[in-house]
Structure 1
Amino acid sequence: MGSLEEERLVQMVHEFIESESSTPASFSNSKNLSFNQRTKYFALQEILGSGTDVESEVLENVKRQMRKQNELEETTSSSVKNWLVMSLKCDGFKASLCQTSWITSLDCPGGDYEYIDITIKDENGNSTRLIVDIDFKSQFELARPTATYTELSDTLPPIFVGDENKLRRIISLLCSAAKQSLKETGLHIPPWRRTAYMHSKWFSQCTEVPTRRGNKETKSGTSGSSKVTKWTLPIVKPKRRDFGGGS
């Protein structure tokens, strides 16, 4: 975080502690938090509380659709995301199922990840891209976390809806806290808990995944009537050669 933002967060923490406003129950029971840890906690609270009306509308819609999840015959992660994309498109959202993939680098092992992408247009025609992740909180789980990190990660919502800037700020804050937690417990920091790997999940090159409705396959972000045809290798018949019967 930049110096101006840090100063603003420090001032916010001072005002919060000195005020008579109620403190979240779980946080008020943590008596051994350092000032830096308190700053991270309130910074995360501020980020999560900065949602726009559009984000709130999408989140409520996603929650409503997820309550119908038990109607699915299949409950795998991919099938749930596929079903949710189709449901959001039926509700008028320009939604798509995105898959990121990245190759192994020096400080980041390769992998792939899926999340939902929604494009919102305002009255002026400006587009806003929202990332929807229905398995967001579990991405930040740690082995043997400290009480401080547990308290911080428990603040994360199970379902994330927000723009890229909001997500980047959360990743930066949680990865910093995870590094401190692992250091305190004497554990090695695995590559998949570093900032580079977490960024790769949502910010690598994205490919739209075809969604399936019944037995029909449709491309995410398009109408349900569009079809995706599967290319097959054409059968080539061998030509018959006439070797002749002459001497």
Structure 2
Amino acid sequence: MAAAMVRKPVILRSSDDIFEFPGTGVSLGDMVLDFIEEVEVSPEFNTTSGSDEDDENSCGVEENKAFWEEQDQLLQATLCKSSSVESKIRQATKEALREINSSSEEYCVCARPVTGGCWKCLRTEICKRLIDSGYNCVICKSKWRSSTNAPAGEHTYLEVLDKSSKRGEISVAIELNFRAEFEMARASENYNRLISWLPEVFVGKAERLRALIKILCCAAKKCMKEKKMHLGPWRKHKYMQAKWFGTLERSTPGSLPVGFSHGPPKPKASILAFDLLDVAMAQGLHCSSTAVEVL
């Protein structure tokens, strides 16, 4: 049989004295060293530590999965809610877009027309068609000042004011480029899947729009946190909400904004309408009254 390994006693010196337990041959140093080695190599300790980390990672994955599933359900449920007023305006907007796209006439009337049209002229054209269809449609420009949480900005969209409801006047927003407002270049797969549910053209009441903004901004914050990236101030809830609920200025195509004066324009002074004879006489000068014809 192989000879048993005998550990040399570890001697702890204190004033040249040897600390050893009497009758055992085991020193205090041996006991301490054995305990340290057991802790370092014990499979129980290693297994437990790894299990805790795996459990934490597993919980994190499950929590993320539950979050995105919940956001999907909330978003789809909010998008499905639609009143009869919203449905009618949505259908009228789709018909207006279909007519514009099928027409050979260019609707862009800018000084330098954009090939395929521009958003400004498209909004104006759709607003005109909705007005012709009997809807009280206006062009809304939302403006907001800068703050500690968000920079200043402005945003333009359409709005239909419906007075047929028993609850009074209902405001229905029309955003022609709704999905693009929430798209992010470095978004995660979960966030992009959520955005894919959004319609390109949104037509809905204020309360439904507020709910969508809250869901999407919460998802954007979670997405950036998972990717360990900073969320830009223009992506935060306060900024996105200001786009549709800031200080509004309403106008109709070819008119001044609602609330502005529609009185006759002030006459502009012209040298051709300036009576030099009256001025000269007022100053005591003698001038000929011969009229001069302006060719």
TM-score, structure 2 as length reference:
0.63
Report how far residue 145 of structure 1 moved: 0.7
Residue deviations 1:20-39, cap 9 Å, x none? xxxxxxxxxxx996112111
**Bigger-Rg structure (1/2):** 2
**How many angstroms apart in 2 are the aligned matches of 1:123 and 1:188?**
44
1:44 and 2:86 matched = no
Residue deviations 1:134-188, cap 9 Å, x none? 1111100112110100010110111111111101110011001001111222321
Report how far residue 86 of structure 1 moved: 0.4
Report how far residue 132 of structure 1 moved: 0.8
Counterpart in the other structure of 1:106: 148
Alignment length (residue pairs):
205
Instruction: Summarize the Cα distance change of 1:187–1:69 in structure 2 as closer, same or farther, 3 Å threshold.
Output: farther
Instruction: Summarize the Cα distance change of 1:173–1:89 in structure 2 as closer, same or farther, 3 Å threshold.
Output: same
Which structure is richer in relative contact order (CA contacts within 8 A, separation 6 or more)?
1
Counterpart in the other structure of 2:291: none
Letter in 2 for 1:144: R
1:146 and 2:188 matched = yes
1:172 and 2:206 matched = no
Report how far residue 57 of structure 1 moved: 1.3
Find the residue that maps to 1:130 and give its secondary structure: strand
Identity %: 25
Counterpart in the other structure of 2:131: 89
Counterpart in the other structure of 2:100: 69
Find the residue that maps to 1:182 and give its secondary structure: helix
1:80 and 2:85 matched = no
Letter in 1 for 2:98: R
Report how far residue 210 of structure 1 moved: 3.9
Asked if the contact 2:137/2:158 (under 8 Å) is kept, the reply is yes
Counterpart in the other structure of 1:35: 66
**How many angstroms apart in 2 are the aligned matches of 1:243 and 1:33?**
91
Asked if the contact 1:133/1:161 (under 8 Å) is kept, the reply is yes
**How many angstroms apart in 2 are the aligned matches of 1:210 and 1:93?**
12
Q: CA RMSD in A?
A: 2.7
2:235 to 172, 193, 218: 193
Report how far residue 233 of structure 1 moved: 6.5
Instruction: Summarize the Cα distance change of 1:121–1:34 in structure 2 as closer, same or farther, 3 Å threshold.
Output: same
**How many angstroms apart in 2 are the aligned matches of 1:147 and 1:32?**
16
Asked if the contact 2:137/2:252 (under 8 Å) is kept, the reply is no
Report how far residue 244 of structure 1 moved: 7.2
**How many angstroms apart in 1 are the aligned matches of 2:98 and 2:81?**
25
2:250 to 208, 229, 232: 208
Asked if the contact 1:99/1:114 (under 8 Å) is kept, the reply is yes
**How many angstroms apart in 2 are the aligned matches of 1:151 and 1:164?**
24
Letter in 1 for 2:245: F
Asked if the contact 1:93/1:118 (under 8 Å) is kept, the reply is yes
Find the residue that maps to 1:68 and give its secondary structure: helix
Counterpart in the other structure of 1:128: 170
**How many angstroms apart in 2 are the aligned matches of 1:125 and 1:91?**
23
**How many angstroms apart in 1 are the aligned matches of 2:82 and 2:124?**
25
1:137 and 2:168 matched = no
**How many angstroms apart in 2 are the aligned matches of 1:176 and 1:102?**
21
**How many angstroms apart in 2 are the aligned matches of 1:65 and 1:244?**
67
Residue deviations 1:112-138, cap 9 Å, x none? 111111011226472211111111111
1:242 and 2:242 matched = no
**How many angstroms apart in 2 are the aligned matches of 1:115 and 1:94?**
14
1:160 and 2:202 matched = yes
Q: After the TM superposition, which of the residue ranges 119-128 and 99-108 deviates more from structure 2?
A: 119-128
Q: Structure 1 segments of 4 or more deviating over 6 A?
A: none
